[in-house]
Structure 1
Amino acid sequence: MSRVDLNLLPALDALLSERSVTGAARRLGLSVSAMSRTLTRLRAVTGDRLLLQAGRTLVLTPYAEQLSQRIPALAREAQAALSRADHRFDAATLEHRFTLRAGEGFIDLLGATLIDRIHHAAPGVQLRFAPKPDWNAQPLREGAVDLEIGIVKTSAPEVRTRLLFRDRYVGVCRIGHPLLREDGIDLERWASYGQVMTSRTGEAENPIDAALDPPDRRRKVLMVVPSYTSAMQLARHSDLLAVAPYSCMGNSFMPNYAAANGLQSFELPLALPAFDISAIWHPRLDHDPAHRWLRNQVLGLCTQAYPPQSPADSRRRRR
């Protein structure tokens, strides 16, 4: 296309629409003489007079009449194609299915609010939550997953992350559990009750048992399940104790979630560090406007659901 000058396209569009050199010049912010020279170039390029004098006005030639049906849409399409990607994005007209990977707790407590938020702005968007059997980054690399939400455990050096909120582990039991009848929950009493352990991979290694001191102390794990929501349901219907992230107890949208499900949380008699819940994605989607919009929707939702507890959390969230 070395002989095609796309700068002539908006000029042709203006001339065909205005049917006036003066009007076209005003529309494009050019001088009348500059527009006259452009008309001369357009006549040479197309091999047609395009506009002819008819008294005090200009009229279109038959070929120009044909062009007038095509050029406006063509000019808009060219302008959109050659403008910055951000300017082309419109959530209201977006037709897309995003695949996310998150734990059951996030889906149960925030899934409905997230889709309400997204559907209000982008009715053509669908969310698909894929299973999360592990923390392998390969689905992100291959494009099978657009966004992952959770703890960053991948060793893939190229992935991008953004803090959504800080979380911590708490004990969970049914309302009225015997453990709660006495003041204070010490390590010995807590460990004496049967417990349900959560392990996504089925392995027994987890931060709770790693923090037990002395190292030879063991809690009475009677069941191992793959999700925190399953552990919470078992605790609800038995005297088993569970451990779950505090975020699974509720949020600003569902403040009474735990109590409504017959559960009560308590502070663990263990020194466990807090942990980060992050959005994780592949860098090829960094500047994709639709994906950036999705990330901002998830971040905004989590900021409302779990407000940062300290200035440090706020600074890390903005990074």
Structure 2
Amino acid sequence: MPKTIDLNLLHALDVLLTERSVTAAARRLGLSPSATSRTLARLRVATGDALLVQAGRSLVTTPYAEQLAERVHILAQETRTVLTPALGQVEPALLDRTFKIRANDGFVTLFAPALVAEIAKAAPLVRLCFVPKPDKDATPLRDGTIDLEIGTTGASAPEMKSQLIFRDRFIGVARKNHPLLGKPVTPQLYAACRHVVASRRGASKGPVDDALRDLGLRREVVAIVPSFLDALNIARNSDLIALVPNSSLDKQAHSLQRFELPVSTPELAISAMWHPRLDSDPGHRWLRQKLMAACKTSS
């Protein structure tokens, strides 16, 4: 008789080859380290290969495991999709799954509390893992490293599905009682201030600079930080003017005052994005619905 194959081993192998750590894999699998070590031993017997071997304090993959890694990851995803209940039959209370969401820290600060609370109430076995967003590279969505991305859509990944969450706009922010705020903020007065900007890539210029340039003006950027929350903290404790999305100030308004920019900048359309293979996945669709509802409640 053909040997019975335990498909749980496929998922475990995918996690072990991704994490390259028994302890980290155990956390993702919801097992103890000793149980995960026993699973690794079973996998070694099943494949006839050591798969992961000790190198100092770390584990490294064998050449055979390196060859397997990508195929195993794809097969594990396809198996999960095949064995997931058909659309409309998901039972949140029984859904046991980890969703990885890539978003900037401003979104996490503003919307994650409501989303996590709702998910925890409706689906206690679901885990949400928010990961940083260093760029707009679509590779993590394509290879399944992340399940959902929050941000502005781009032209680099036209195949991705998306759904508008909310619209935002840039505003100026200064500490309360800042000299700029005692009178109408004109382009000239705004440009004459010193500024802090947020950019993951370290860029100092953006749409507001284009609008000022059309008026023959140029602002002085003296600080560049990786996140809008960092920009707000600097503006709170200095005379620098911050440029941030309006939504980022809602829970950070202490000692700060917003003002409308004296020049026009494009509106921000914040969307949820995902790979087409997850479009009909019932668990993923349920997560998207919960995300939209939480964002609507928190906005």
% identical aligned pairs: 44
- 2:167 counterpart letter in structure 1: R
CA RMSD of aligned residues (A): 1.8
Q: In the TM superposition, what is the alpha-carbon distance from 1:154 to its structure 2 partner?
A: 4.4
Larger-gyration structure (1/2): 1
The CA distance in 1 between the partners of 2:87 and 2:267, in whole Å, is: 36
Conserved 8 A contact 1:202-1:226: yes
- 1:243 counterpart letter in structure 2: L
**TM-score under structure 2 length normalisation:** 0.69
1:213 is matched with: 213
The CA distance in 2 between the partners of 1:169 and 1:197, in whole Å, is: 12
1:185 is matched with: 185
- 1:129 counterpart letter in structure 2: F
The CA distance in 2 between the partners of 1:282 and 1:82, in whole Å, is: 19
Conserved 8 A contact 1:147-1:279: yes
Q: In the TM superposition, what is the alpha-carbon distance from 1:237 to its structure 2 partner?
A: 0.7
The CA distance in 2 between the partners of 1:234 and 1:165, in whole Å, is: 27
The CA distance in 2 between the partners of 1:192 and 1:148, in whole Å, is: 37
Q: Any idea what SS the aligned residue of 1:279 has?
A: strand
- 2:142 counterpart letter in structure 1: R
5 Å-filtered alignment, 1:21-100, equals 85-100=86-101
The CA distance in 1 between the partners of 2:100 and 2:148, in whole Å, is: 7
The CA distance in 1 between the partners of 2:91 and 2:230, in whole Å, is: 39
Deviation by residue 1:197-243 (Cα, 9 ceiling, x = unmatched): 11111123422212213365210100011111100010011111001
The CA distance in 2 between the partners of 1:202 and 1:215, in whole Å, is: 25
Seen in structure 2, the aligned counterparts of structure 1 residues 162 and 82 have a Cα distance that, compared at 3 Å, is closer
The CA distance in 1 between the partners of 2:262 and 2:201, in whole Å, is: 25
Q: In the TM superposition, what is the alpha-carbon distance from 1:87 to its structure 2 partner?
A: 4.8
- 2:257 counterpart letter in structure 1: Q
5 Å-filtered alignment, 1:87-126, equals 87-126=88-127
Conserved 8 A contact 1:137-1:154: no
1:235 is matched with: 235
5 Å-filtered alignment, 1:232-311, equals 232-250=232-250, 257-259=251-253, 261-306=254-299
State the number of aligned residues: 218
| Residue 139 (str. 1) matches residue 140 (str. 2) | yes
Q: In the TM superposition, what is the alpha-carbon distance from 1:303 to its structure 2 partner?
A: 2.0
Q: In the TM superposition, what is the alpha-carbon distance from 1:108 to its structure 2 partner?
A: 1.0
Deviation by residue 1:98-150 (Cα, 9 ceiling, x = unmatched): 10011111111111111001111011111111111110111000101100011
Q: In the TM superposition, what is the alpha-carbon distance from 1:82 to its structure 2 partner?
A: 9.7
The CA distance in 2 between the partners of 1:85 and 1:97, in whole Å, is: 19
The CA distance in 2 between the partners of 1:82 and 1:93, in whole Å, is: 14
The CA distance in 1 between the partners of 2:124 and 2:159, in whole Å, is: 32
- 1:239 counterpart letter in structure 2: D
The CA distance in 2 between the partners of 1:107 and 1:87, in whole Å, is: 28
Q: Any idea what SS the aligned residue of 2:146 has?
A: coil
- 1:128 counterpart letter in structure 2: C
Unaligned residue ranges in structure 1 (runs of 5+): 1-80, 251-256, 307-319
The CA distance in 2 between the partners of 1:210 and 1:139, in whole Å, is: 32
Conserved 8 A contact 1:199-1:206: no
Conserved 8 A contact 2:105-2:132: no
Q: In the TM superposition, what is the alpha-carbon distance from 1:291 to its structure 2 partner?
A: 0.4
Q: Any idea what SS the aligned residue of 1:296 has?
A: helix
Conserved 8 A contact 1:170-1:244: yes
1:165 is matched with: 166
